[in-house]
Structure 1
Amino acid sequence: MLLSYCNQIINIILRITLHPPHSFFSPPTPMAAVAGSASASASLPSSSARFRRSLPPSPSQLSFPRSRIPTRSLLSDNSIPQNAVVAASKPSPLQLLKTSAADRYTKEKSSIIGIGLNIHTAPVEMREKLAIPEAQWPQVIADLCALNHIEEAAVLSTCNRMEIYVVALSQHRGVKEVTEWMSKVSGVPIPELCKHQILLYNKDATRHLFEVAAGLDSLVLGEGQILAQVKQVVKTGQGVPGFDRKISGLFKQAISVGKRVRTETNISSGSVSVSSAAVELALMKLSESSFANARVLVVGAGKMGKLVIKHLVAKGCRRMVVVNRTEEKVNAIRHELKGVDIVFRPLSEMLECAAEADIIFTSTASESPLFSKENVQMLPSVSQGERRRLFVDISIPRNVEPGVSDLDTALVYNVDDLQEVVAANKEDRLQKAAEAWGIIQEELNKFEAWKDSLETVPTIKKFRAYAERIRAAEMEKCLSKMGNDVSKEHKEAIYALSMGIVNKLLSGPMQHLRCDGNNNHSLDEVLENMRALNRMYDLETEISLMEEKIRVKMGRAQK
C-alpha cells in the first residue's frame, strides 16, 4: 500500500513538472492563463491575489506618488468601474497614460546611473559646494533612497570629485530627482549643475567607476589614494539600508579592478599623488628650491596631511609644525618618521603658527575656511628672501578663502593648480596605463554578466516555491488517504522521496538559470531560459519583482 502511494506521488510530480500550466510555444491570453493554472493549483491563491490582500486598501494610502503604482497588478478586479468594459474599445487619454505607466514600471529594468562633478568637468568653486564629509555618507544614502525612483545609492566624495551612483527604477526620473537633490543641498542652480556634471548610464557608469578605482581618472594618473577612498565607501556603506546588492557589488568589483591594475601593471611606479604634487608645486615656487631653511606649517594630520608630511621629509624637510585638533595622530606620525622634528600645536594656535611660517599646507575636513582674507592680512611679513607667504590648499571645501589670493603678501594654490606638476610626467604614465584598459574590460564583462544574472533570482525563487507548493499539497493529500496508521518512519520516507524527486527534477532548470559570466552567449541563454520558465509556469516574475520594490519603498517611507 505504501509503495502504491509513493508511485502516485512520483506520477503526480512528474506530470505537473513536465506539463506546466502554460505552453511555451503558444502563450495563452490572460483569461486562458487563469483557466490553465486553475487545474494545477486551484486551492492556492496566485501571487497577485496574495499581494493584493497584503496591501493597504487603496493606493491613496501609499506614501509615494500614485503614478508610480503599476495599477494592473495592485488593484483588485472588483475596483474596476462597470463602464470600463464599454470604454475598453475606445480608451481615454488618461487610461492610455495609466496603461503606459504600468507597462513602463513593470517591464523597465533598473538602471545604474553615475552622476556628479569631478576635477575634469567642474572648477573647485563648484565642487566644494557639493563636497560631502564621510560621516554624512550614510545619511546621504538614506536621503537618496527616499526619493521615489531610487532603490540603491552610494556617494564618493574626495578632493577631486563628488560622484553619486544609484540604482534607479527609471533613468529619466532618477536623474531628475538626484539632480534636484544635488541642487537643493548645494544651492547651485540646476542649469549650472547640468553644464558641469557627468552623467553616465549602466555599462558606461560601471566603466567610469572602474577607471576611477584604477587611478585612470585621477588628476595624477595612477595615484593610489583613490582606491583607499573607494574601499571606504564600501566600509561606510556596510549595513546601511540602500547600500544594497547591486551598488555594493559594483563598488566591491571596482576595488578588485583597482587591485589588479596596481598588481599587474606598472602604472603606480613613479607616479605622484595629490599630496606629493602639492609638495612638488611648493618646491617649484621656492626661490631656493629647497625645504632646508623654509619654515613649514601643515594644518591637518589626517590621511592627506600625513602624506604631505611624508613627502616633505622625502624632499629634505627636517622640521615642521603640525596643527591638528588632537595630538594622537601627530604622535603616530612622529613614531613612524623618526629623526624628524615634528612640533604639535592645537588648532587654537593656528594663526600664531601661521605668523611664523613661510609655507602653509592645509588639508582638513573643515566645512568653512580656516584662513580668511582679514586674518591673513594681519600676519607679519615672511622671512627674508621670500616675497609672499605660500599657501598650498588641497582641501575640499577649501581651507583658504579665495580672497586671500588678492593680497600682495600671499600666494595661494589649490588642487586645480596642480596640473603644472602633473603634466611633467603624464606621458610616461599614459603608456603604462595601456595595460590597465584590458583589465578593466575583463572586469567590466564579469560585472555585467553578474548584474544581468541577478534578473533570474526572482524566477529561481518563484519556480522553486511553485514546485514546493505542489509537492507539499500532493504529499498531504496522499497521507490523508493513507489514514492514521502511517508510522513516523514511513512519513519521513515519503517526505524524503518527494523532496528528492523535486530537487532532482529542478536541478537541470536551476543550472540553466545561473550565469557563470564566461561569455555573452551563455548569458543570453540564461535570460531566455528565465523568460521561458516565466511563460510556461506563469511565475509573473516581473510583476512580483515590482511588488517587492514597492513594499521596500513603502517600508522606508513608514520609518
Structure 2
Amino acid sequence: PPPAALPSLRTSASFPRSPSQLPLFSKPSSIAGARLSARSTPSINPRCDAVSQGNETPPKPISSTPSPLELLKSSAANRYTKEKSSIIAIGLNIHTAPVEIREKLAIPEAQWPQVITELCALNHIEEAAVLSTCNRMEIYVVALSQHRGVKEVTEWMSKTSGVPVHELCKHQILLYNKDATKHLFEVAAGLDSLVLGEGQILAQVKQVVKAGQGVAGFDRKISGLFKQAISVGKRVRSETNISSGSVSVSSAAVELGLMKLSESSYVDAGVLVIGAGKMGKLVIKHLVAKGCKKMVVVNRTEEKVNAIRNELRDVEVVYRPLSEMLECAAAADVIFTSTASKSPLFTKENVHMLPPISQGERRRLFIDICVPRNVEPSVSDLDNALLYNVDDLQEVVVANKEDRLQKAREAQAIILEELNKFEAWIDSLETVPTIKKFRAYVERIRASELDKCLSKMGNDISKEQKEAIYALSMGIVNKLLHGPMQHLRCDGNDNRCLNEVLENMRALNRMYDLETEISVMEEKIRVKMGRSQK
C-alpha cells in the first residue's frame, strides 16, 4: 500500500542509527549486518563524493559459459547484499547555485520520463525522479550502492549539462535517506522555496508523479515518496495557512517591478508580458491585482491569450505574435519574460537598438523569471536598460518573510509526523520478502503433509471430510503463523519496535535458511539487466 495508507506506522526518533556514509572509493564494510545499517548523516551543501579520484576498475569478463545473470551476480553479490538501497537527493537549487549554473541543468518537463529511463540505465540506480523548476533541478534516486550511485548521477549531470564535475560539487546538495525525504517534504510544503509558502511548487511536485506514471524506474519507493510529499504539502497548507498572504515567484516579480517604477504604478506604464504559459498567466493576474488595466502579451499562439482574456474581462489584454516582440518591446516601459525558450529572446544588441522609453530618461525595465534565462545577462551593461532575474527577487521576499516564520515552525511538526510515517513504511518493506518466503516455506510443508494424510486414508473419505481436513491444516498453519507475522510488522506503538522487527527478520532468515537477501539481490540484478537490454 502507499505510505499515506499506513497512518499507524511510525518510527522512533530515538531509534539508534549508526553512520554508514562511505567515501566514494572506500571498501564497503564486511559486517554481515551492514546491509541493514542505519541511514547516514546528511551533507547539506557538501563536498562531492564524485570528485575525480580515479575510476573504479570494472570486473574482468570471465572466459567461460556462465549466463550474463551469473556473471553480474558474481561481481555484484558483495556490494548488493552488504549495502542497503538508499534514497538520495542530489542536485542544485536557488540556495546553493546561481541562475547561470542552474539554467545549464534545467530539464524541460517533457523530458522527465526520458531522464528517468537514462538514470535507471546506470549500473547502481534502481528508481529515479527529476524535479526541475526555475528555482531547482533536483534528482531523487533509489541507489543499490550509496557512493557509487552518487558518482554515477553526478557524472550523468555533468555530461548532460556540460558543467564539470568539480564545478557541480561546489553548488550541489547531497542528502541521504531520512534527510532526502525530509528535504522533499519541505520542498512540497513551500519551506525550501525562495518565497516561503509559495504554492506553485506543490503543483510541480504533482507533475512529477503525473510524468512518472507508467515509466519503468518510477517505481514503488520513489512514487511513494512523491505521493507522500504531496500529502505533506496539502496538510501544511490546510493546517497552517502558510500560503495565506504569501507571494509566489510571479507576484514577487510584479512587486519588484512596482518598486522599480518611478511612479510606483502600473496604471500608466507600458507593460509587456512575453509568454502566456503557467508563469506568464500568473504574472498577468498579479499585474491586474496591482492595478494594471492594459498590457500586451506576446506568445507563439493566440489560444492561451484568449483563455486569459475570458477570465479577465475588465482588462485589455492585447495579443501580438512572437515575430512582433521587438516592436512591442520598443513601446514598453517594463517587460516580463516567462517562456521556455532555451536561448535568449533579448540580446544585448537588440536591446541596445530599442528607442528610449517615452517617459523621460528612465531606463527600460526587464524582469526575467525564466530558467534558462530569456534575457542575455550582458543587457545589464547597457545604459538604457535595467535587468533583474529570479535571483534578484530576494529584495521583495525578505519584506514578506517574517510573518510566515511562525507558520513554518508549525509546518515542521507536521513534516516530522509524516516523515516518521514514511520511514516506517520504507523500513517495513525490508520484511516483505521474508514474510513471503516464510509463508511459502510453511505452505509447502502443510501441502505436503496434507497429501500424505489423504493418501493414507485412501479413496473412502467423502468430499466433506477432505474439506474438513484441509480446513484443519489451514487453521493450524494460520494460528502458528500469527505470532511470527505480528513480530515482522511494526505498529509504531513501541519505541523499540523497528529494531526488534528487523532482528526478528534476521532470526527467521537464519532459522529457516530463507536466503531472503540473496533472492532480493537476484531480483534487483534481473531488473537492471532487463532495463539494459531494452
Q: TM-score, normalised by structure 1?
A: 0.81
- Residue of structure 2 in register with 1:303 after alignment: 278
The counterpart of 2:308, out of the listed 297, 316, 333, is 333
Compare 516-525 and 462-471 and name the one that shifted more: 516-525
Distance 2:301 2:466 in 1: 69
The counterpart of 2:84, out of the listed 109, 115, 131, is 109
Using the TM superposition, give the Cα deviation of residue 519 of structure 1 relative to its aligned residue in structure 2, in angstroms.
5.0
- Residue of structure 1 in register with 2:389 after alignment: 414
The counterpart of 2:408, out of the listed 430, 433, 437, is 433
Which is higher, the Rg of structure 1 or of structure 2? 1
Correspondence list, 1:393-404, <5 A: 393-404=368-379
- Residue of structure 1 in register with 2:68 after alignment: 61
- Residue of structure 2 in register with 1:149 after alignment: 124
Q: In the TM superposition, what whole-angstrom CA distance separates every residue of 1:125-182 from its partner, at most 9, and x where no partner exists?
A: 0000000011110110110010000011111101000000111111110000000000
- Residue of structure 2 in register with 1:343 after alignment: 318
Using the TM superposition, give the Cα deviation of residue 249 of structure 1 relative to its aligned residue in structure 2, in angstroms.
1.2
Distance 2:276 2:491 in 1: 46
Q: In the TM superposition, what whole-angstrom CA distance separates every residue of 1:277-313 from its partner, at most 9, and x where no partner exists?
A: 1001111110100000111111111111111111100
Code of the aligned partner of 1:534: N
The counterpart of 2:296, out of the listed 309, 318, 321, is 321
Correspondence list, 1:50-89, <5 A: 58=65, 61=68, 69-71=72-74
Compare 465-474 and 306-315 and name the one that shifted more: 465-474
Using the TM superposition, give the Cα deviation of residue 489 of structure 1 relative to its aligned residue in structure 2, in angstroms.
4.6
Q: Contact 2:178–2:423 (CA<8 Å) still a contact in 1? A: yes
Q: Contact 1:449–1:520 (CA<8 Å) still a contact in 2? A: no
Distance 1:454 1:203 in 2: 15
Q: Contact 1:446–1:518 (CA<8 Å) still a contact in 2? A: no
The counterpart of 1:210, out of the listed 174, 179, 185, is 185
Code of the aligned partner of 1:440: I
- Residue of structure 2 in register with 1:10 after alignment: none
CA RMSD in angstroms comes to 1.9
- Does residue 198 of the first structure (1) align with residue 153 of the second (2)? no
Using the TM superposition, give the Cα deviation of residue 62 of structure 1 relative to its aligned residue in structure 2, in angstroms.
5.0
The counterpart of 1:523, out of the listed 491, 498, 510, is 498
- Considering fraction of residues, name the structure with more helix: 1
Using the TM superposition, give the Cα deviation of residue 504 of structure 1 relative to its aligned residue in structure 2, in angstroms.
3.0
Q: Contact 2:102–2:136 (CA<8 Å) still a contact in 1? A: yes
- Does residue 452 of the first structure (1) align with residue 427 of the second (2)? yes
Gaps of 5+ in 2: 1-63
Q: Contact 2:129–2:218 (CA<8 Å) still a contact in 1? A: yes
- Residue of structure 2 in register with 1:74 after alignment: none
Correspondence list, 1:354-433, <5 A: 354-385=329-360, 387-433=362-408
- Does residue 551 of the first structure (1) align with residue 521 of the second (2)? no
Q: TM-score, normalised by structure 2?
A: 0.84
* Change beyond 3 A, Cα 1:386–1:474: farther
Q: In the TM superposition, what whole-angstrom CA distance separates every residue of 1:486-519 from its partner, at most 9, and x where no partner exists?
A: 5555444443433333233223322221223455
- Does residue 506 of the first structure (1) align with residue 513 of the second (2)? no
SS at match of 1:287: coil
Distance 2:469 2:531 in 1: 44
SS at match of 2:174: strand
Code of the aligned partner of 1:61: P
- Residue of structure 1 in register with 2:60 after alignment: none
Q: Contact 1:355–1:379 (CA<8 Å) still a contact in 2? A: yes
SS at match of 2:426: helix
Compare 497-506 and 158-167 and name the one that shifted more: 497-506
Distance 1:386 1:509 in 2: 82
* Change beyond 3 A, Cα 1:276–1:107: same
Q: Contact 1:445–1:517 (CA<8 Å) still a contact in 2? A: no
Q: Contact 1:115–1:198 (CA<8 Å) still a contact in 2? A: yes
- Residue of structure 2 in register with 1:19 after alignment: none
SS at match of 1:390: strand
Q: Contact 1:262–1:268 (CA<8 Å) still a contact in 2? A: yes
Code of the aligned partner of 1:213: A
Code of the aligned partner of 2:365: L
Code of the aligned partner of 1:229: Q
- Residue of structure 2 in register with 1:35 after alignment: none
SS at match of 1:218: coil
Distance 1:350 1:197 in 2: 37
Distance 1:366 1:519 in 2: 54
Correspondence list, 1:464-503, <5 A: 464-484=439-459, 487-503=462-478
Using the TM superposition, give the Cα deviation of residue 191 of structure 1 relative to its aligned residue in structure 2, in angstroms.
0.3
Q: Contact 1:121–1:196 (CA<8 Å) still a contact in 2? A: yes
SS at match of 1:400: coil
Distance 2:215 2:471 in 1: 40
Compare 514-523 and 219-228 and name the one that shifted more: 514-523
Q: Contact 2:294–2:315 (CA<8 Å) still a contact in 1? A: yes
Distance 2:190 2:493 in 1: 26
Using the TM superposition, give the Cα deviation of residue 58 of structure 1 relative to its aligned residue in structure 2, in angstroms.
5.0
SS at match of 1:289: coil
Compare 471-480 and 189-198 and name the one that shifted more: 471-480
Code of the aligned partner of 1:317: C
Using the TM superposition, give the Cα deviation of residue 420 of structure 1 relative to its aligned residue in structure 2, in angstroms.
0.8
Using the TM superposition, give the Cα deviation of residue 449 of structure 1 relative to its aligned residue in structure 2, in angstroms.
1.1
Q: In the TM superposition, what whole-angstrom CA distance separates every residue of 1:352-393 from its partner, at most 9, and x where no partner exists?
A: 222222211111112222222222223222222352221111
- Residue of structure 2 in register with 1:48 after alignment: none
Compare 525-534 and 285-294 and name the one that shifted more: 525-534
The counterpart of 2:97, out of the listed 122, 133, 139, is 122
Q: Contact 2:340–2:372 (CA<8 Å) still a contact in 1? A: yes
SS at match of 2:96: coil
Code of the aligned partner of 1:269: S
Correspondence list, 1:152-163, <5 A: 152-163=127-138
Gaps of 5+ in 1: 1-56, 72-97
- Residue of structure 2 in register with 1:167 after alignment: 142
- Residue of structure 2 in register with 1:49 after alignment: none
SS at match of 1:345: strand
Code of the aligned partner of 1:228: A
Compare 515-524 and 180-189 and name the one that shifted more: 515-524
Q: Contact 2:69–2:525 (CA<8 Å) still a contact in 1? A: no
- Does residue 461 of the first structure (1) align with residue 468 of the second (2)? no
Using the TM superposition, give the Cα deviation of residue 258 of structure 1 relative to its aligned residue in structure 2, in angstroms.
1.2
Distance 1:437 1:196 in 2: 25
Code of the aligned partner of 1:170: S
Distance 2:156 2:216 in 1: 19
* Change beyond 3 A, Cα 1:61–1:102: closer
* Change beyond 3 A, Cα 1:305–1:59: farther
Code of the aligned partner of 2:251: S
- Residue of structure 2 in register with 1:237 after alignment: 212
Q: Contact 1:70–1:105 (CA<8 Å) still a contact in 2? A: no
* Change beyond 3 A, Cα 1:58–1:405: farther
SS at match of 1:455: helix
Instruction: State the number of aligned residues.
Output: 471
